[in-house]
Structure 1
Amino acid sequence: MTIKTDGFFSAEEQQRIEAAVEAAEKQTSGEIVPMVVGAAYDYPRAEIIGGGFFALAFASLISWWFWNASLWAFLPAFLLLYLPCKWLVRFVPALKKRLIAEAEINAEVEEKALVSFVEQGLHHTRDNTGILILICLFEHRVEVLADRGINTLVPKETWQEIVAIVTDGLRRGQACDALCRAIGRCGELLTEQFPIREDDTNELPNLIID
């Protein structure tokens, strides 16, 4: 499964997002990192289940229609159809998503946020004030993860407001505008507790498209 991310934001929109991060970080020592990924996970189990289900259905129909439900017709038909059906599920995201439980999607998005937080070095900021805004295109999910320096002063529930802003923008087809608003709101929240230092530097990228 491949969900392209390079064209999700145009070059102009990327510049707007980076400018929004820069503006927000002028008021705070916090580091805000928006990140866009195609998918949090590949979900191979959905492909196996979907491939088996559709191959079973088509093979049953073929064997019943042409060979009066012969087992000897069903078995080779199933074996021949399994891989094409599996590839069908892999390359049709809307179909594949229907085969994945909500609990699994939630768990994989949360894990992707944690892994990305570490991989991108958000846990290494000077004051432990990194914030990751993760957008997963396949799942249509947004996850906000803040470092321990922030979570000691800002309740985790506060970040649901940021998630709601971006999620609503994705649904309306206004992802760039929504993300810029969310970044601005993060800046406001951080400025209250973590005003900018005189020797502040930009420690992390202003936008990551993976």
Structure 2
Amino acid sequence: MAPKMTHGMTPQDLDRIAGAVAEAERTTAGEIFCVLAPEVSDYRETPLVWAAATALVLPAAALFAGFRPEMLTRLFGGWSIGHASALDGAILSALSTYIALQVVVFVVAALVVSMPPVRRALTPASLKAARVKRAAMEQFLGHGLHVTRDRTGVLIFAALAEHRVEVIADEGIYKAAPNTVWDDVVADLVGGLKAGRIADGFVAAVGRAGAILAEHVPPRGDDRNELPDGLTILPKR
């Protein structure tokens, strides 16, 4: 029987990541924790915002282009109003048609933008970045990386749908190592993700993080493993 795949990774891949973390931590007093998120948010506001904007802009643009609401009435066989005393009725009919058109445009746009590929493509990059950073910080705090013995926890976080990576090091690391060294950790993980080799990306990033930690936070005789070594995979939103 073929091994069960988890987001493109086999149990052997997960074992490789856990092994890489364990190996890296043998050379340092730091703690490395890895998290993979299929998607950090459902971005429910994106379809609503795009649908509202489209419903406001598209019918208005049609009016400027020469479209008139009564055209729809005539198109579907409605009666036209020719008497001057019926002007109020004509205005009401035009407004009703315009509002109905806005509703239809809103519903159609919301349904289209709700499709995951479209929703992700139309969600602003700044919003994705903020949601990924928040999700990463929630994992950092939720798993207690901020309460390790010497505040030397490092989180390696990847969000697949958003195509974003976060590396968060606690204050004990930031005091010892310059912030720029983590750029290489990010690059290693991103390289693996771009190539579709998630496990390879994490193994490379863990190895790089371990080398940084070994240089700036050497091991002590009474070190103990404070965090799980395996990859934590979050449920899909």
- Same-fold call, TM > 0.5? yes
CA contact (8 A) 1:123 1:130 kept: yes
Write the distance in 1 (CA, Å) between the matches of 2:10 and 2:58.
41
The answer to whether 1:68 aligns with 2:71 is yes
2:116 to 92, 101, 125: 92
CA contact (8 A) 2:37 2:233 kept: yes
Once the two structures are superposed, the pairs formed by residues 42-191 of structure 1 within 5 Å of their partners are 42-52=42-52, 68-69=71-72, 72-73=96-97, 75-76=99-100, 78-79=102-103, 82-83=106-107, 85-93=109-117, 95-191=118-214
Write the distance in 2 (CA, Å) between the matches of 1:46 and 1:149.
38
Write the distance in 1 (CA, Å) between the matches of 2:102 and 2:14.
47
The answer to whether 1:36 aligns with 2:36 is yes
Deviation per residue, 1:56-94 (Å, 9 max, x gap) = 799899xx7xx734554553354356446434423323x
Q: 1:53 to 1:122 in 2, by over 3 A?
A: same
Q: 1:84 to 1:36 in 2, by over 3 A?
A: farther
For 1:110, what is the secondary structure of its paired residue?
helix
Query: Rg: which structure is higher?
Result: 2
Count of matched residue positions in the alignment of Structure 1 and Structure 2? 203
Q: 1:84 to 1:198 in 2, by over 3 A?
A: farther
Alignment RMSD, CA only? 2.8
Give, in angstroms, the shift of residue 55 of structure 1: 6.1
CA contact (8 A) 1:50 1:96 kept: no
Identical columns (%) = 33
The answer to whether 1:7 aligns with 2:7 is yes
Over 4 Å off, 4+ runs: 53-61, 69-74
Using structure 2 for the length normalisation, give the TM-score.
0.74
Write the distance in 1 (CA, Å) between the matches of 2:175 and 2:154.
13
Write the distance in 1 (CA, Å) between the matches of 2:189 and 2:233.
16
Paired residue type of 2:21: V
Give, in angstroms, the shift of residue 16 of structure 1: 1.1
Q: 1:90 to 1:9 in 2, by over 3 A?
A: farther
CA contact (8 A) 2:38 2:160 kept: yes
The gaps in structure 1 that reach 5 residues or longer are none
